[in-house]
Structure 1
Amino acid sequence: MNNRRFLLLFSTVLTLLFSGCDTNIIEDSNHAMPSRNWSYADKVKIVVDITDSSKPYNIYFKLRHTADYRYSNIFVLLNVKGGQKKRSRRYEFKLAQPDGQWNGSGSGNLYTYVFPLLTQFKFPAPGRYELELEQNMRDNPLKEVSDVGIKVSQAN
């Protein structure tokens, strides 16, 4: 009976360990904002090497803020630079319900979000691409933003 429990526990732990790994992730970065203030100058940048431009990719915006964040939304700019070309796009994301309830997953005073920016996106050609996120709100700095990140994964 004890051997069965041990084997069940062991196989459950192994399943959880291996199911949490995403082998499709190309880049996943988080940047802590100084004093929880995201200023215009604090642009979050990553560089990805794309070897196969025929494959689609997903690009995500990752955000963590405190309960003291003043707004129910956030505007960000995504800049994609490759070679001589630069592509920019503005996004708005809803962070809270009309009643003030945060949409993100909470842990203590922090709320975490992962928003899709580009899904099934194909880079125009193989090469190095710089992805840059910047806050595009009226407040500078934008207070109570703890962390910002970018995640790039190969789409399934």
Structure 2
Amino acid sequence: MNNLALLRAMLWLLVLPLLVACDPNRVYETNIDLPDYAWSVQNKPSFSFDIQDTTQLYDVYFNVRNASAYGYYNLYVKHTLTGPDGQVVSRLLHHMVLMDPKTGEPLGDGTGDIFDHQFLALPKQRFARPGTYTVVLEQYMRQDVLPGIMAMGVRVVKANEKAPDTP
């Protein structure tokens, strides 16, 4: 890792807490840096968060940080969400567009050759039981190692409405 990449990573760690501290609807947000800034198919980042209010709907976002040298315009990610009882709540494949497919221009917010994206993965998610939920992310591309995917994360925020009553 060169000095510029190290400096950017350190800046990210300093600025991120300031950005997330300003959001009163945020329940959870964590990003995990991937080793050697590459996402191996064997590396399955796991994120655990507590939900206490089961009357609230939540929006679950996936955060992606990539270098402009990433070799594809998109990224397929499969998630598995498990509940406090260890049972699978949902399992879906997500298609995320990181660059314009025609021009190759990077999308997202970026500085230099590093770009951050936030994708709404599970809108208005209802959590039926209070307790700890876990999201596991898997890269689902045709290449075992994806150089240029630098970090993955999960963000959970309160949606703007309550969950409907259930019998």
* Cα offset, 1:147, TM superposition: 1.0
Distance 1:143 1:96 in 2: 15
Distance 1:135 1:152 in 2: 20
- For residue 52 of structure 1, what is the aligned residue in structure 2? 53
* Cα offset, 1:137, TM superposition: 0.7
- Residues 1-150 of structure 1 aligned to structure 2 (within 5 Å): 21-82=22-83, 83-86=85-88, 87-97=90-100, 98-150=102-154
Q: Secondary structure at the match of 1:100?
A: coil
Q: Secondary structure at the match of 2:128?
A: coil
Q: What runs of 5+ residues in structure 2 fail to find an aligned partner?
A: 1-17, 161-167
- Partner letter of residue 108 of structure 1? G
Distance 2:62 2:120 in 1: 6
* Cα offset, 1:25, TM superposition: 1.0
* Cα offset, 1:124, TM superposition: 2.1
* Cα offset, 1:96, TM superposition: 1.5
Distance 1:153 1:76 in 2: 20
Q: Secondary structure at the match of 1:134?
A: strand
Q: Which has the larger radius of gyration?
A: 1
* Cα offset, 1:24, TM superposition: 1.4
Any runs of at least 4 consecutive aligned residues in structure 1 with deviations exceeding 3 A, and if so which?
none
- Partner letter of residue 148 of structure 1? M
* Cα offset, 1:84, TM superposition: 3.9
The alignment of Structure 1 onto Structure 2 pairs a total of residues equal to 139
Distance 1:111 1:52 in 2: 33
Distance 1:136 1:72 in 2: 14
Q: What runs of 5+ residues in structure 1 fail to find an aligned partner?
A: 1-16
- Partner letter of residue 89 of structure 1? L
- Partner letter of residue 54 of structure 1? T
* Cα offset, 1:29, TM superposition: 0.5
RMSD: 1.7
